[in-house]
Amino acid sequence: MTDAAVRIVVAGRVQGVGFRAFAAARGRELGLRGHARNRADGSVESVVAGSREAIEAYLVALRSGPPSASVANLSVEDVAPESVTERDFVTG
């Protein structure tokens, strides 16, 4: 059941360090659906839908990231769950 959805933007050293693969692995483990994509400004955007508990656990994981990443800032905004059209977790 999808209770919630959020759009997350992670800034810092998050491109070229396996961050999207890390995000996708955590998202799948938590049963989330959505995506993680690099942005032109050097950040990573992730839009996910799932239970509030799974989203909170996902946010905790993203705040630390993979060992080679350095997260400087993480912003979160609620979005409509129906706006997340992916059936699984994908990277792009």
Judge whether 38 counts as a catalytic residue.
Answer: yes
**Candidate list 20, 26, 39, 73, residue with the active-site label:** 20
> Which positions ≥6 away from 59 have C-beta within 8 Å?
6, 8, 74, 76
52 is catalytic: no
CA angle at residue 66 from 4 to 69, to 5 degrees?
A: 105
CB 59 within 8 A of CB 73: no
**Which of the residues 7, 13, 37, 38 is marked catalytic?**
38
Q: Which residues are catalytic?
A: 20, 38
